[in-house]
Structure 1
Amino acid sequence: MTDPLDLLDTASLLSEEERDIQRTVRDFLDDRARPHVAGWYDSATFPRDLVPELGKLGLLGMHLYGYGCAGTNAVSYGLACLELEGVDSGLRSFVSVQGSLSMFSIWRWGSEEQRTEWLPRLAAGEAVGCFGLTEPDFGSDPAGMRTRAVRDGGDWVLNGSKTWITNGGLADVATVWARTDDGIRGFLVPRGTPGFTTTDITQKLSLRASVTSSLHLQDVRLPASAMLPEARGLRGPLACLNEARFGILFGAVGAARDSLRAALGYADSRIQFDRPISAFQLTQKKLADMAVALNSAMLLALHLGRLKDRHELRAEQVSVGKLNNVREAIAIARECRTILGGSGISGEYSPLRHASNLESVRTYEGTDEVHTLVIGQALTGRAAYR
């Protein structure tokens, strides 16, 4: 049966394998996550027991090759992110951080010993990873980080802190970026290392079904083998962020689609003035405008996915996708809430939950302002944020 929200038949642009992967992820989430997500959000609980199941399904580091990873193409990974965020941004955030930040940092920049030790466990969901870049005083400007690593004989000693770290309180290993005399370098810090502690951030109004933490490093001593040997300077963490941003630009489409589906279903069943509110012109205008924006965002995501699969995707193009699709998704989720009326503030319906979550998604891994300036630099050749 044709999906009424897929006005432009974007499904026809997918391969059979891509459609099968998307369907498999959707069916799994409909069974194991969607019935419970409102409760997780309400209780600020992340479903830790789902992690091995996500690994068994092949979703963790699914776009990476070898070491137990599924090795799918970029579009398939994006479609999985779309389905995950269609349930809740917290689920997509977990998968993005695990695969595109923690695992990718090891896969791309790590030694063979580091890859062999960590990637199979992370891919299977037997271990959880996090990515420590953002600091309390340095978010958009990671070059100013204060976390420092100094040589002490054959070891490294790390001191500093990171904050707003997804999966931090769950992580068995943290990729921590620190300033050294040789520039910014990455280090793998296993949980249980003396001096390494985490504190979960509470009272969140967004991404409640997700673990967000601060990392504290006080005289954390690591062997030389803990350093990611191939990453030097900001190029290392920024490459990881581009991987995660790619998942976001698909994920935002999922949140928007789920919001619009909820609003359309409600409008068809809600009777006012003796007919469904979906029969009113103002409601149809809202639905039509949102459907056009949703389909445009999906086409943009798919185009960028094809570029990535051809190894032609540029950083400013990722910024276009992240900026546009998250911005459009928030607008759609908020407008859908208006169609739901008073019922829209109930946890029974998803749009306001998606809108709240997307406020975090809009901020992390590059604010609107930063992505705007990345695009501005591509247009003018001038870096306005330096």
Structure 2
Amino acid sequence: MDDARQQQAASAHRVLAALRASFDAAAAALAARCSEGGKLNARKLDAEQVPSFELAWAGAELLAAETGMAALQADAPAVAVDLALIFCVEAATAVVARLETLYLELGLSLAPLRELQSQPAWDGLRRDAGGARALEAAGRAVALSDGEVGPTELDEPHALAQEAFRRFSAEVVAPQAEAIHRDDLTIPESLLQPLREMGVFGLAIPEKFGGSSPDDREDTLLMVVVTEALSEGSLAAAGSLITRPEILSRALMAGGTDAQKAEWLPKLAAGNPLCAIAITEPDYGSDVAGLALKGVRVDGGWRLTGAKTWCTFAGKAGVLMVVTRTDPDRSLGHKGLSLLLVEKPSYEGHDFEYVQDGGGTLAGRAIPTIGYRGMHSFDLSFENFFVPDANVVGGEAGLGKGFYLTMAGMVGGRMQTAARACGVMRAALRAAIRYTGDRKVFGSALAEFPLTLAKLARMGARLAACRQLAYSVARLVDTGAGRMEASLVKLLACRSAELVTREALQLHGGMGYAEETAVSRYFVDARVLSIFEGAEETLALKVVARSLMERALGIAPSGA
């Protein structure tokens, strides 16, 4: 790192330190407003949703900037330093604006923020690291990078996995992605079978159960690396296949009986059957505690009646993890929920009806969507559908624990979604680099114009920051921590995917709006990322902001 970059990095660290102190003050003040007797109060939290949302986003942007700057080594490539500084400038500017809003709302003095903005380090950093000349230079470096920005140092096993799945994604997934999207096809066996053979469905399952995860620890980083690589080829046709076995296998490992683990984990690892997760209901969305699909105890098992929606891959799946209300007392909220494994035949089409020998029925219909085609999300209707006692996760001891077992899988699911966002961003950035290098306008390549280079620089900076944060949080999750951070990186990466794919499409001009151009698919696919695995509003309010306030109060974090 040369002297100029060292000075800019030093300024960035000073700015971030000042922002962290101001952020902590805002978190403490908001926590005081939302608490009663030293504990957060649900009614007060709901009344402060707007400032809580700002707090969560400020926390996400600030942590990403801090993580990116902290990762820089003295011998870091110039482009890595420049992109980290660019994101730092943009994130710090956004955080200042959010904190000003919070300080005004909370009645705090704006003096600390005004003091920061009056310091020479602030103006110098914005000029030297985030100004037009810096963006142009960084954009040229990004154009030469072919999208290889962000963390590139992996140990040998992870590097080999990344290389293998990137190759598979480019050579097998990407050539089929357009047809799957435009013709609204179900993911074909020509993709599923080789992925089974590569062990994709067992990434979260210990080796002793037929998976590829170590028996003595988790390897979230491997899941992130593989997911990112597959999502670059297609979010819907490959990158999202891991999420459902990830959630179900973690739920089984957290609360399944020994017999259930022995029966189901090897099957899930082999991708036979494929699985789906049925949580959301038409009237409740992300409000898991309000779920109403009813399970009534009968001789030998349970009869399910009710509806689920947005159940991805429900047609193709041979087993569904269904969050079911097994206690009729609705006042119990999430404590009355259990997990039931619903077995069914696999169907290729966009609708199905399965009638059991005893007359119970399960019907499904694929929901037409603007993107994320291939797996298809289904409306499901259960009518007196029988599930044996053996398929209650955890058996009798698992009744009432469905919410907690589901949450055991959601941390991994959110990390995987952040990785999906990074893969889509990388695909979009690479497409933009190629197109702007080839496209001639007004006698020059589009990539020669300063505004194009500034766009590429900002896209590269955002991708690099999200990748760095995702990889860092993956390692944190493997220590048993990182629940809030997993939600935070999902929050940031998914919104960033919308921004990056939007700019990539814009740089393609009219061709970006054509379905025959892959970047149009990246754009519509990216839009779903902020919605599933926890809508960004729910994550921001119920997990990130709440956890930040709990930390400010010095109390143990609640589950989410």
Q: TM-score, normalised by structure 2?
A: 0.65
Does 2:269 align with 1:123?
yes
1:245 corresponds to:
414
CA distance in 2, matches of 1:105, 1:239: 6
Does 2:182 align with 1:42?
yes
CA drift of 1:188 comes to 0.8
Identify the match of residue 197 of structure 2 among 45, 52, 56.
56
Distance 1:7 1:123, change over 3 A: closer
Identify the match of residue 323 of structure 1 among 485, 491, 506.
491
Identify the match of residue 533 of structure 2 among 352, 365, 385.
365
Does 2:383 align with 1:218?
yes
Distance 1:184 1:281, change over 3 A: same
1:21 corresponds to:
161
CA drift of 1:368 comes to 1.3
CA distance in 2, matches of 1:79, 1:191: 32
AA aligned opposite 1:249: A
CA drift of 1:215 comes to 2.2
Q: Summarize the alignment of residues 275-294 of structure 1 with structure 2, pairs less than 5 Å apart.
A: 275-294=444-463
- Structure 1 stretch displaced more, 331-340 or 176-185: 176-185
2:352 corresponds to:
none
CA drift of 1:352 comes to 2.4
1:208 corresponds to:
373
CA drift of 1:221 comes to 1.9
1:271 corresponds to:
440
Superposed CA offset, 1:48-77 (max 9, x none): 302222111011131220321111621111
AA aligned opposite 2:163: R
CA distance in 2, matches of 1:304, 1:196: 42
Does 2:239 align with 1:92?
yes
2:308 corresponds to:
162
AA aligned opposite 2:165: V
AA aligned opposite 2:511: S
AA aligned opposite 1:350: A
CA distance in 2, matches of 1:125, 1:379: 38
Identify the match of residue 334 of structure 1 among 493, 502, 511.
502
| Secondary structure class of the residue paired with 2:284 | coil
CA distance in 1, matches of 2:234, 2:522: 7
CA distance in 2, matches of 1:188, 1:139: 21
CA distance in 2, matches of 1:196, 1:95: 28
CA distance in 2, matches of 1:11, 1:122: 31
**Number of residues paired by the alignment?**
379
| Secondary structure class of the residue paired with 1:214 | strand
CA drift of 1:123 comes to 1.6
Name the Cα RMSD after superposition.
Answer: 2.0
| Conservation of the 8 A alpha-carbon contact between 2:505 and 2:513 | yes
Q: TM-score, normalised by structure 1?
A: 0.93
- Structure 1 stretch displaced more, 229-238 or 371-380: 229-238
Superposed CA offset, 1:267-324 (max 9, x none): 00001111101000110111111111110111100110111222222x2111110000
AA aligned opposite 1:61: G
Identify the match of residue 295 of structure 2 among 139, 143, 149.
149
| Secondary structure class of the residue paired with 1:138 | coil
CA distance in 2, matches of 1:87, 1:29: 5
CA distance in 2, matches of 1:216, 1:61: 29
Distance 1:126 1:154, change over 3 A: closer
CA drift of 1:233 comes to 4.4
CA distance in 1, matches of 2:374, 2:402: 33
Work out the percentage of aligned pairs sharing the same amino acid: 26
Q: Summarize the alignment of residues 69-88 of structure 1 with structure 2, pairs less than 5 Å apart.
A: 69-71=211-213, 73-88=219-234
Distance 1:63 1:152, change over 3 A: closer
CA distance in 2, matches of 1:171, 1:118: 14
Distance 1:285 1:330, change over 3 A: same
Does 2:338 align with 1:185?
yes
